Structure 1
Amino acid sequence: MYQVHQEGSEDRWEVEALYDLCFAPGREALSSYRLRDDAAPIAQLCLVARDSDAILAGAIRFWPIAVGDHKALLLGPIAVHPTRQGEGLGGILIRESLGAARALGWQRVVLVGDEPYYGKFGFEVLEGLEMPPPTNPQRVLGLALVPDAWRDVRGVVRSGSA
């Protein structure tokens, strides 16, 4: 049983340690981090999951980005502690945060990841988006939170503001 709640300032260092554990301390050198450099995460969508002993088991963050005149969310990073993987916690964090994003009026989400995993949540490979290099275009995935939200959205992905 997990309690999922919005990430607070008291969670920050534990969340950063979890991301370092799951992705290695050099994770911030990844190209998708260039989109996070000058933006604050969307606090209402950044969630943590703690077990019954209040131990951090997982975390997810979202960032504002833009493609042309279109606002979007960048999902990531998402991490589940290695001892808790395979329990469905990543799916819980994704579904809860996407539901919250819809409720807040966001229309589209993009991430860089594996389609076989994220496809279970409706993400598909996006054509025509230019992520910071080097990003494999086959790993650029999108989800429309409202019908046709990605229709005719093309161009350079850049950091945005909420």
Structure 2
Amino acid sequence: MTDLRNTPVAYPSQGAPFVIRAERASDVVAREALLDACFGENRLKRTCQRLRDERAPAEGLSLSAVRKDGQLVGTVRLWHVSAGGVPALILGPLAVDPDCRKLGVGATLMARALAAARSRGHCAVILLGDAPYYARFGFSTEKTAELMLPGAFERERLLGLELDAGALDGAWGMIVPTGAAAKPKTRTRTSRARKAARLVTHAA
């Protein structure tokens, strides 16, 4: 089983000045600011948020991209769900600072997250996002046509990836959360977080 905190970090080929590591408690304020700026303050009303409310992320599958100066420039989390009775993970939110969009932060976060999920024995990952972007990682609508989310969503954006061939065969019905309950916490918002601009996102 891979411990991301002790895993050597390989920089992207273009030598971007960032590392991918396990999310830390000290990342929370910066992460919330990044997500607020990326998705807006109504992000907690989005359909996929219903699968994350009051749930803890899957163990070992919350990652941060951090510059050498300590600035958080990217984040991704995965969560336990049942995809019509099939155990799976749902990925998101994925958010990246636009100053790093050409440095491969999003792609590196995705690669590390999927590798970690596979190493921990997970068999399938689902997300709601742009098909052209996620196709490069193997996501498609091939196995998600019979799945539903607890709210409005665009069918062509519901994508799946089998980490084990056939893992999503026959998946049908509502996607529901199955993760452990989250510990109570107080969200921190600042005017700077609400006014932060020029941030880009890929997955809701």
Whether the TM-score (by the shorter chain) exceeds 0.5 is yes
Confirm whether residue 88 of structure 1 aligns to residue 104 of structure 2. Answer: yes
Query: Following the alignment from structure 2 to structure 1, what is the Cα–Cα distance between the partners of residues 86 and 54?
Result: 18
CA RMSD of aligned residues (A): 1.1
Question: 1:16 — aligned with what?
Answer: 32
Report the CA distance between 1:43 and its aligned residue: 3.7
Q: Give the counterpart of 2:41 among 4, 7, 25.
A: 25
Question: 2:151 — aligned with what?
Answer: 133
Question: 1:148 — aligned with what?
Answer: 166
Q: Give the counterpart of 2:95 among 56, 59, 79.
A: 79
Structure 1: where are the runs of 5+ without partners?
Answer: none
Query: Following the alignment from structure 1 to structure 2, what is the Cα–Cα distance between the partners of residues 38 and 107?
Result: 24
Query: Following the alignment from structure 1 to structure 2, what is the Cα–Cα distance between the partners of residues 38 and 20?
Result: 18
Query: Following the alignment from structure 1 to structure 2, what is the Cα–Cα distance between the partners of residues 43 and 91?
Result: 21
Query: Following the alignment from structure 1 to structure 2, what is the Cα–Cα distance between the partners of residues 68 and 122?
Result: 21
> 1:41-93 deviations in whole A, cap 9, x for unaligned?
12401100111111111110111111233211010000101221122110000
Report the CA distance between 1:96 and its aligned residue: 0.3
Contact 2:85-2:172 at 8 Å conserved across structures: no
Contact 2:77-2:91 at 8 Å conserved across structures: yes
Structure 2: where are the runs of 5+ without partners?
Answer: 1-16, 181-204
Question: Runs of 4 or more off by more than 4 Å in structure 1?
Answer: none
Confirm whether residue 121 of structure 1 aligns to residue 130 of structure 2. Answer: no
Contact 1:50-1:57 at 8 Å conserved across structures: yes
Q: Which has the higher contact order (CA 8 A, sep 6+)?
A: 2
> 1:133-158 deviations in whole A, cap 9, x for unaligned?
20111110000011111111111111
Aligned residues: 162
Bigger-Rg structure (1/2): 2
Alignment TM-score, normalising by the size of structure 1: 0.95
Amino acid at match of 2:91: L
Question: 1:36 — aligned with what?
Answer: 52
Q: Identity across aligned pairs (percent)?
A: 37
Alignment TM-score, normalising by the size of structure 2: 0.76
Which secondary structure does the structure 1 equivalent of 2:60 belong to?
helix
